[in-house]
Every structure is written in C-alpha cells, then in structure tokens.
Amino acid sequence: MSLLKQKIMDSAMRFFAEKGYMSTSMQDIANDCGVAKGSLYKYFPSKEELLIEVYYSGVQEMYDKAEMINADKTQPPRDRFIRGTSLQLQYFAELNFSIEEYQDLPMQESGKFIPFCHHLRARQLNYYKESLLSVYGQQLEKYIWDMVAVYLGMVKEFTHFSNVLNQPLNLENAAVFIVDRIDDIVESILKSERPQLLQYSVISEYVQSGLKGASVPVTKQIRNLFETLISTIKELATPNTRKEELKGAVQLLQEEMEKDQPKRILIDILLGHLRLQHELISIVGQLEKLLIKNWETQLPRQINNQEDINSTVVSGSSCTVDRL
C-alpha cells in the first residue's frame, strides 16, 4: 500500500470517529492530507468505498493478530482466549465507532456497503463462536449463540463506556474479568439445561448468509418465526384446548399470508389474539414487523401487476376498435 493511500485511510478513520460519516466530506480528508480532492478519488471512487476499506483494513489486521494467538499452541485454550479477548477490547477501543451505526444511512453509491456489513457481522459472530467452542467444547454448542451474544455485549460495552467517559481501560484486567464471567455463565447454563434463547439453526443460517454478503430473505425469516411459534405453543403450561386454539390461529395466519391478496384486518385480528398469550408477545412482535415489511415489499409489486393488467386490457380494447 502506498504511503499516500495509508495516510488517506488514517485521516478518514479519525474523521469518521470524531465527526461522523455524514459530517465528514472528501474535501475534509483531502485538506487534512494536504492533497487535491481529485487525488482521493484515484484511490477511492466514493466516500462509501473509503469507509469500507478503512473498516476492512482494521478488521483484517485484528483477525491476522487473532490467528497468530490461536496458532500459539504453547498456551492452553483459555489463556489464548484471554489474549484474544484483550485483542478484541483493543480493536473496539481504537476503532471507536461501529460499522452498524451506518447501516441506516443513505449510502448506496457503490451498492457494496450493505453486503459488506452482512459479511463483517457474520464473520465476527462466527469468530466468537469458534473461540468459545475452542475453550468450552462441543457441550456448549446448544447455547453457543446465547453465549456469543453475552460475550460480545460485554466486550462492546466495556469499550463503549471507556470511550464515552474518556476513562482508560486496563485491557488485560478487563479481558480476565470477562473470561472469568464467561466461565461462571457457562457453568451455570450447562447445569440449568434451560432452552436456548437464540435458536441455533436460525442464527447459523443468518451467519452463513452473511458470509456470502447477503441477508436471510424476509419470507424465510417469517417461516422461521412461524416454526418458533408452533414449538413455543407446544411447550406452554396451558390446557390442550388452549394450545389447539393458538395453533389454529397460527395456521389461519399462515394460510392468509400465503394468499395473493391477504386481508390486513384479519391478519391484525389473528396477531392480536396470539399476543394475548404473554409467552408469545415477543415472537408475535417480531413476526408483525416482518409481515409489515413483506407487505410493503409486495404492495408495489401488486400495484405494478395491476397496472400491467389494466394496460393490457386497454391495449386489447384499442386493438379491437382498430379492427372494427
């Protein structure tokens, strides 16, 4: 990498962290580097692609160091895990901004940003999964995504508070503290044998799609939630008559959603009925968001299809008139 390109990336990282992506212009970065703005575009066709490369460079450097730690077999897995956790804390502290903050911003210049976010997130989750399994073994696999969520939450929040409060964080002490707490939670969760919170198959599918730079299709997410609803209903501590009533509502909801033109009012009634069972509120809430998203996606298509039909009818009528 040329010295100028590295200088541009270093400047961009500092500006994005301090001012934010939207408030940073390519001119700001050019001025900081002491070059003409056109020189930036020789290396980066857009600010979006500059952000992607800045973030990817930092992430790749972190993974390269992580691989070196994992390759050191002179230390036991837990000690390597502590060193890897210290590396994660350093990574989050130095980067000082999360790529997730930008996913809702209007950045469609290259069309590469959203796939990049999917891939980055999936790679991160997969790395944490493998790190945890290397320490605690396959016995943890059933609960692995729950533990990934707990681990990631601790790492991110410790560095977040440190950055926001400008309070230096002792990385080694923090890493030991986090791994000690993970030890406690793993021991407790394996003894309790409670059902996992995050379904293994659903999160694994999310990760596999993300590694390809894609998200799980909304229709597939909806099917997964329907399956979760049914399995949850089966486990309810309620009379069988109530379970059958709830399963009937889920079936009606599925049937209605599969129609070409589902009735929104009927869908709302069925969702409301399922929501009365407090154990289902969270699942129904997620399902409702996805159904609305799917509905909004299909509605323009239905409108376009209707316009095509109307156009065909008008065109056909015109031809008939001409022939007459």
Between CA 324 and CA 4 the distance in angstroms is 74
Between CA 296 and CA 282 the distance in angstroms is 22
Looking at residue 214, its amino acid is A
pLDDT of residue 315: 38
For every residue of 99-111, DSSP letters joined together read GGGGTTS---SSS
pLDDT digits (tens, 9 = 90+) for 65-119: 999 999 998 999 999 999 999 999 988 887 655 555 555 555 555 578 888 888 8
For every residue of 37-50, DSSP letters joined together read HHHHHHH-SSHHHH
Between CA 177 and CA 151 the distance in angstroms is 11
pLDDT digits (tens, 9 = 90+) for 268-312: 999 999 999 999 998 899 888 888 777 665 544 443 444 443 443
CA distances 233 to 118, 229, 240, 246, Å, are 32, 6, 10, 7
pTM of this structure: 0.73
